[in-house]
Amino acid sequence: MTDELLTRRDGVAGYLTLNRPKAIHALTQDMCTAMIDALLAWRDDAEVKVVILEHSEGRGFCSGGDINLLRQSALNDGGASGRAFFFDEYRLNHLLFTYEKPVVAFMDGITMGGGVGISQPAKYRVATENTRFAMPETGIGLFPDVGGGWYLSRLDGRLGQYLALTGARLDGAECAWAGLATHYMPASALPEAKQRIAAGDEIGDVLNSLAITPPEPKTAAAAAQIRKHFASDELEDIFASLMSDDSEWAAKKVATLRAKSPQACKVALRQLAESAKLTDFADNMAMEYRLGARVLTRPDFAEGVRAVIVDKDHAPKWNPATPEGVTPDQLDAIFAPLPATEEWRPL
């Protein structure tokens, strides 16, 4: 085990506690494999009835994956260590999705990228007033992976396409409205919820008894605009639709999209369209692994991380620079199967 993940037993509960507070609990490969090991051990332990997924101190549940590792991999080893990280992280995502025992994810605070990947498979997903949910990958030349294609493509009203392209943040009330959270409760109620679940109380009863009516979801006011302007799976159509709208909201979305990687946005739109057709989560993860293996070593990822995380000048030079520059042939190459020996497979 690693100090970055704390595991313990309390009553009928097995606890997985993310423990990298200085990195807002961003996932490392060791954390992913430690979670896999614990889940496999608890799967066959009759005394463990439920898994509680939480974070230790700090302002976030999980801010994502280890982006610096991925960038160094792209720059120094041809993406090999990055692919190894994706391979294990996606196995964890799939294990959580198919886990026979209930998982309760407490999404208290920042829940982004890899944090979405480990919380969305949970049967119970608890949001609070502190929750900030986002899939911001297109801003660094990536795409909403870790199962993002599966979850986002299944949201109503093209909300998933909007979140994938813009990286927009949802608060806890908006997560409950969108169906990304099953319960909304004040953060002050979380210790009681965990204690009662560990004591063996029925999980749904505990969460229902402590849940409160969330505030009005702000994004709901833009639902009609999102449904209209993000209706197409073609990025150029979305730009054209937004630019035909003279509202301040539409202008802000155009500016947001222009800051994102055109390649990443086109990959995300096709990813969600393909994910929506799939019936097996493993097939989704195999597709996302192909995308990750390809996109990791293309220019936009290293450049996006440089601009947003390393130099923080927020002035990435995307290649291609425009949506029109991203050709169907380029997308086909990114989505193509890997050699049989390199494909992702579940545990």
Which amino acids are annotated catalytic? 65, 114, 137, 145
Distance set, CA 295 to CA 11, 71, 99, 182, 333 (Å) = 44, 11, 29, 32, 10
Pairing assessment for the beta strands 60-62 and 110-112 based on DSSP bridges: parallel
Q: Where are the alpha helices (DSSP H) in the chain?
A: 29-43, 67-76, 80-98, 114-119, 148-153, 159-166, 172-178, 190-198, 203-210, 223-229, 235-243, 248-258, 262-275, 281-295, 299-305, 328-335
The structure tokens listed for 309 are 């995380």
Q: How far apart are CA 98 and CA 121, in angstroms?
A: 8
DSSP letters, 305-347, are HIIIIIS-------SS-SGGGS-HHHHHHHHSPPPGGGS----
Give strand pairing partners of 65: 27
Task: Please report, to the nearest 10 degrees, the dihedral formed by the alpha carbons of residues 94, 98, 102, 105 taken in order.
Answer: 20
Q: Is the peptide bond between 323 and the residue preceding it cis, with omega within 30 degrees of 0?
A: no
d(CA 338, CA 324): 26
Give the chain's length: 347
